[in-house]
Structure 1
Amino acid sequence: MSCSSHCEQATAPSVINEPLQLSRSLSLILSITCALAVANVYFAQPLLDSMAQSLNVAPGSIGIVVTATQIGYAAGLLLIVPLGDLLDRKALIITQMLFSVAALLAVGMAGQWSVLLGAMVLVGLMAVVVQVLVACAASLAIPVQRGQAVGTVTGGIVLGILLARFASGLIADLAGWRAVYYVSAGLMLSMALVLYKTIPALDLPRADSSYKALLISVGKLFISEPVLRVRGVFALLIFAAFSVLWTSMVLPLSAPPWSLSHTQIGLFGLAGLAGALAAGRAGRWADQGLGQRTTGVALALLVLSWLPIAWAETSLLALVLGVVMLDFAVQAVHVTNQSLILAARPDAQSRLVGAYMCFYSVGSALGAVAATQMYALGGWSAVCLLGAAVSTAAWLFWAWIRFSELRLAPSG
């Protein structure tokens, strides 16, 4: 299908009842939207001091802003993302983005502590539109293109996470912390209009049940879909390792001998762009039936990445190399996970994504808590040992799964 014919279908009111060959332009639009949406979750981290001074909040309490956003995001995974299997997915995406605009404006105008916290919960709640967009990209693509489509959109998510802190700090330096959320609101509104014009209407299989039954079915998917359980464990472990690094890395870099500023430390996130570039490639490997092999190689690379990372206190170049290796490995496994899960049940893609991302949330939270405790107990060496141990556990789990599959495979 040519790009011109696809664009004509994208703007036409007719309903499409079979997967399209997802055009590069629409993939790019979905990827950009994901980057902008997920960035809303991370904008606040470098702005906490400014928020505390503006609202006269004690510095020790302002961290609750980040917690409130994560609470909203976790609730959205369970309560909103599954709706993609019950309601029209395009309408759900547009509605979430418009509510996100309202929430971002509320944050920017917040004059009271309670209002700010409530608005940040809504920001997190609406940010789960990225998971609906992942499911949307998978449903728009033909089966042999699905992994590549998921990889492209996931690449946008990675870019949003990595660039959010840098962008918010830059805008805040120029116009104050409130401007960050006003600018984001304007961008989200613009993308909502673009998506309204470009996403085609799809007559997808939808769950024939009530909302309550839909939520209950999410739990049943854990029981009925072994690929969700296996890939969920991978997600929990790899994002625990990811969080171990990114939560604690600021501690040795801000201490002597480096004594880097927060802005300088934030630039290390740009090294993780390699992961975003790798995401699309991993999706293509999954489309070619190489998902298991990709997972094994990536997890081995994840284990090895902790060797150069361990030299962070003496070599910044080694740290950059380790960050590139780790982010490449994590995103390769993450894209492979989603590609395999979404292919398992086309009729339950939104619920599968929501359920899978719960493992991501748990792993990220556990990794963050464990990393700070390990640094307090044994310094950077203890943190690296923890990260390497979690990464090794992930590879051993893959090896066990792989051995079990080969043993059960028919001979000859």
Structure 2
Amino acid sequence: MTKDDKAPAGAAMAGDATGRGLSGAMALLFALACGLSVANIYFAQPLLDAMAHDLGIAPAAIGMVVTFTQIGYALGLILLVPLGDLTDRRRLIVGQTALSAIALIIVGTASHAAVLFAGMVLVGLLAVVVQVLVAFAASLATPDGRGRAIGTVTSGVVGGVLLARFVSGALADIGGWRLVYLVSAGLMLVMAALLLRLLSRSPKATRAGLSYPSLLRSTAALFAEEPILRERALFAFLIFADLNVFWTSIVLPLSAPPFALSHTTIGLLGIAGFAGALAARNAGRLADLGWAQRTTGLSLMLMLGAWAVFACLHVSLWFVVAGVIMLDLGLQAVHVTSQSLIIAARPDAASRLVGGYMVFYSIGSAVGGLASTMMYAVAGWDGVCMLGAGISAAALLVWILTASRTEAPASCASTP
């Protein structure tokens, strides 16, 4: 029996690096794993007021829950994700998923603000398994289907981000905010067992043959070598700051009079956002066809328009629903397009490219979350809308200045 004959049962589902590509079933499993993992970062947003009340945290400071989570995520992107180009991604993915369950238990049983913040750092640190999964999916996909594969897997990421708010709100209304994290811990253990059973080992071509310190240095060097990485990292910072400006602060006006909505009701907004995210699944296909820059520009215009709609919050909640669809549709399209472009530039360094790119996602999310609650405390919802619109306008300006880049199908640049 050969070594290949001893591969896990899931190897046939996953495909390989020799041209068979990523199977649809495995792409969906990757999407589900990504959704569950990334949801852990965003469960807190509809629960900030409940956490603050339970642990005696000042309302103006509760945004630090989001900030500490994103700090952990940024550290994971720098220290853990590049390992996907050095070690077996299957082992890395299963290990991070299992350890995430322990971090969630720490959060769910926290009795002091300091323990909560420390637990959230660990949750963020381990949630970067999402990026290892995205890089693994990209390495298994064929070059002309890479954008489509990334689009499918990333739809799970955005779905997890958005549905997390509904799930956490519903569970919190049933059994309190702690129940949310304890239930998620159980689900992560189940997912770890499933991934262990079904994932194939990493293709040998993805292993860089570098020492760990050299691997980290090469990640930083990619920013100097790849202009597309610098450009798309800036977009990541801006669009995810924009997203978190909205989602971190929207719970504050909706949970207060005259709305006084429950956590479950507020979380339902995530379903509207999920609809927008699903509509953007084909953004990866557009990148494969060479329409990445046009897709980016139209999507950023949509995100800017969403803030004009959000400003009508006190007229009707339906404006908020429409704005959520616009905001998340635009963000998903930019995000998928960006990952397709940067991985196509250097497929041999997929994990390092995605990790470096997502550092800026994490920084943007942290800055947006903290700035949002601070702005709301000073200028209310109108101030938040002005902040979000300003960030969207800045992203659109960056696109105008960089859109002269010649577009070509991502698959054309897919050779190492």
The normalised TM-score by structure 2 is: 0.86
Question: CA shift at 1:66, angstroms?
Answer: 4.3
The 1:257–1:103 alpha-carbon spacing in structure 2 relative to 1, beyond 3 Å, is: closer
**Deviations 1:305-359, CA, capped at 9 Å, x for gaps:** 2222221121222221122111101110011001111111111111111111111
Determine the C-alpha separation between the residues in 2 that align with 1:224 and 1:29. Answer: 33
**2:314 counterpart residue number:** 313
Q: 31-40 or 240-249: which moved more?
A: 240-249
1:200 corresponds to 2:200: yes
**Deviations 1:227-262, CA, capped at 9 Å, x for gaps:** 100111111122222222223323443455434344
Structure 1, unaligned stretches of length 5 or more?
1-6, 407-412
Alignment map for 1:208-287 (pairs within 5 Å)? 208-287=209-288
**2:348 counterpart residue number:** 347
- Indicate conservation of the 8 Å contact 2:166/2:266, yes or no: no
**Deviations 1:253-291, CA, capped at 9 Å, x for gaps:** 345543434432222222101232034211111111111
Task: Tell me the secondary structure at the aligned position of residue 222 of structure 1.
Answer: helix
The 1:12–1:335 alpha-carbon spacing in structure 2 relative to 1, beyond 3 Å, is: closer
Matched to 1:81, the amino acid is: V
- Indicate conservation of the 8 Å contact 2:66/2:369, yes or no: no
1:392 corresponds to 2:390: no
Question: CA shift at 1:67, angstroms?
Answer: 4.1
Determine the C-alpha separation between the residues in 1 that align with 2:218 and 2:241. Answer: 27
1:296 corresponds to 2:294: no
- Indicate conservation of the 8 Å contact 1:77/1:358, yes or no: yes
Determine the C-alpha separation between the residues in 2 that align with 1:87 and 1:288. Answer: 32
The 1:320–1:404 alpha-carbon spacing in structure 2 relative to 1, beyond 3 Å, is: same
Task: Tell me the secondary structure at the aligned position of residue 205 of structure 2.
Answer: coil
1:145 corresponds to 2:145: yes
The 1:100–1:278 alpha-carbon spacing in structure 2 relative to 1, beyond 3 Å, is: same
Question: CA shift at 1:392, angstroms?
Answer: 2.1
**1:76 counterpart residue number:** 76
**2:413 counterpart residue number:** none
- Indicate conservation of the 8 Å contact 2:77/2:359, yes or no: yes
- Indicate conservation of the 8 Å contact 1:15/1:203, yes or no: no
Matched to 1:228, the amino acid is: L
Determine the C-alpha separation between the residues in 1 that align with 2:281 and 2:74. Answer: 26
**1:91 counterpart residue number:** 91
**Deviations 1:185-204, CA, capped at 9 Å, x for gaps:** 22222222222232222222
Question: CA shift at 1:218, angstroms?
Answer: 1.5
- Indicate conservation of the 8 Å contact 1:154/1:279, yes or no: no
The 1:50–1:234 alpha-carbon spacing in structure 2 relative to 1, beyond 3 Å, is: closer
The 1:209–1:170 alpha-carbon spacing in structure 2 relative to 1, beyond 3 Å, is: same
Aligned length: 398
Determine the C-alpha separation between the residues in 1 that align with 2:174 and 2:303. Answer: 38
1:58 corresponds to 2:59: no
Question: CA shift at 1:12, angstroms?
Answer: 6.6
Matched to 1:163, the amino acid is: L
**2:365 counterpart residue number:** 364
Matched to 2:285, the amino acid is: R
Task: Tell me the secondary structure at the aligned position of residue 364 of structure 2.
Answer: helix
Determine the C-alpha separation between the residues in 2 that align with 1:18 and 1:36. Answer: 29
**1:134 counterpart residue number:** 134
**2:382 counterpart residue number:** 381
**Deviations 1:119-146, CA, capped at 9 Å, x for gaps:** 4332221111011011111111111111
The normalised TM-score by structure 1 is: 0.87
Matched to 1:58, the amino acid is: G
Matched to 1:187, the amino acid is: L
